[in-house]
Chain A
Amino acid sequence: MVTNEQMRPALFEYLLCLGDDMLVLGHRLSEWCGHAPIIEEDIALANIALDCIGQGAALLRLAGHVEGKGRTDDALVYFRDPMDFKNAELVEQPNGDFGFTIARQFLFDAFSYHLYEALSKSGHTELAAIATKAFKEISYHLRHSSEWTRRLGDGTAESHARIQNAFDELWPLTDELFAADESETVLVGAGVAANRESLKPAWDGTVNEVLKSATLARPQEDGVKLHTRNGGPVRRHSEHLGRMLAEMQSLARAYPEAEW
């Protein structure tokens, strides 16, 4: 039996993983504000960005409590360096064109839909509560990104080529979503975390169904798992995260006590 005290460091790491995924993706989506193809989609992406950032804030707030060193969500967001972020590489990828953003969103939504459905039954009460609220929001995100995937895939020759290209490019980054490290496995055993690997068949089902109806091809598996979550002593990030964080954190670091 693992005690709560023994679980504390693992749970802190796990909540950082969950929270950072949402925070980083939310920030990426917020970069569309004022740049989307039409005003309605501009508002839609901003709404989804706010949902993600809200979920990230709730998870990081909880992470701060669990850590017990008095770090607030703001402290975790603005005063950690890139290598301390635990998000998957998928969500930090730059927006690219609209099709690329939709493909990135769809691959992640299909994952988080099944993840948060499972987490809403977590034995950790606060995490289950956050997950239950998030699951509703994510259900809409998945609907939004699925419908756009269908329309771009089954749209013009150009929209089809662009989003197929995006899926091909992003595909190798999806492996990481389903890989857990040792400390997470302990949490799964304790009924706190969801078993990532067990979500893969459901994710496959969702992704295959939408890609098929979008007349898109599922990219080939290369069989080499280059990217694994917490796979090594140093967490892997692409070059893009540092730049994103530099912009996101600059104000808070220049004026540490500022309120706005």
Chain B
Amino acid sequence: MSVSGSLAAVIKEQLQRALDRGCSFADVRYYEEDSTQSLVLYDGNLEGNYRRFERGIGVRVLKNGAIGFAATADLERIPDCFDRALANAEAAAVLLGFPKDMGYAQPVHGTYKPPFQKDPFTIPLPEILNLLNTIDRQLNEKPVEHRMVRFHFQKRHIYYFNTEGSEIERWVMNPFANMTVMARDKENRTQRRSYDLESDGTGSRGFEWVENPGAFAVHTDRIKSELSQLLSAETLPPGRRDVILLPGQGHLQVHETIGHPLELDRILGYELSFAGGSHVKPQDIGTLRYGSDKLNAVVMVVENSPGTFGYDDEGTPQHQYYLIKNGILVNVLCARIDLSEANAKAGKKVVEKSGASARAAGFYKTPIDRMTNVCVEWGSDGTLEDIVKATENGVILDMPVSWSIGSNREHFHFGCEIAWEVKDGRRTRVYKNPTYQGHTLEFYNSLDMVGDRSTWRLVQVPNCGKGEPNQIMEVGHGVPVMRFRNVLTGEGR
């Protein structure tokens, strides 16, 4: 641990004071550095060029079964921050429901550093802008009317301490990159194609990934070509057909209709007033048929993902576990704080241990249940072309344009950038403005083909929103190509 000795001493002294004042648990996250760099080149103009720096401390205490949280950027006022957290917990205990309980965990001492070679924050700005500009120039040709290239880098250096004696030091390194091209079609409607930096789950997370031409820049010609095809395409006619989701769309389907409904705080009703609840009940864990036998959803520890961070914000080490195995719901995304309540409500033990899902978006946010790497295992139904060959009447869909999901995640409506019609085992044409909608369990039970490892991509999501006060979190989703049968597609009006 390289945090200054005097600061560590103050934190430990205050943790002890929290115990002395009757807390059963307390923890502290000190963000020595939380840096962001955002660069946006829009039609060749640098419309976004900023850096953000944050430093501060977040304190969480558990007293009389209630949680209190407080945060400050003023490191001279750490005792005051503890006092506010304690006062918040004491106020919360006035209206107490199921008493919160952290259980017991062995103290954890550890460090985590994601793999990276080049720290983007040490790369001279002209060098980064040169890369942005090069990609922008590659996008700037007819029929493209508007184009955007974005880099967004995050670096965090976080220390964690708790009253159990855990001390963890970890770093976060997140490079995000996106390119988008737009033009108006023959009906004067804007069409777009885009690409987000993604991987096969391996590799490193420094600037070397972004600047690797084979990882990002290589996609410029493809998205321009596909945009051209969209401009002369017809709108997807409404009707029921098979849907083949590429990872660019499949990851959001998984995010919204597997990830969110399996967050334990949603299941227990703690998100009802804002994000919504879940169609899943605690007693469903272990029994609910969520999808067909082909569906295996796993929380993975992936080498190259924003959802890999070593230890969560309660100090639990990340580990791999199934959420859905052969279509049956077997576990949920959970933290230590809600395990006993979930088991009590289910009337049996449905969750054994924390899924290392307690995550906070900054020092001034409290940890809540978040996705990490909610993935779908690759299957044995071959490549994308094998799945296409096996499809009589369907569409291949890629990249979200819009998403709207029922409050309990029981139904959904997605709009995508592009569709390729599949007829009798062949791609026949491109359609624009494709949409599809369905009901979650019915949809996943119609999953009948799952692509092999060659189709599996780890897609980065930089902006998952949840919680009050609201938090934006970075997560990863590894998904293969998936085929769903007889889905309602297109708009009837």
A and B pair up? no
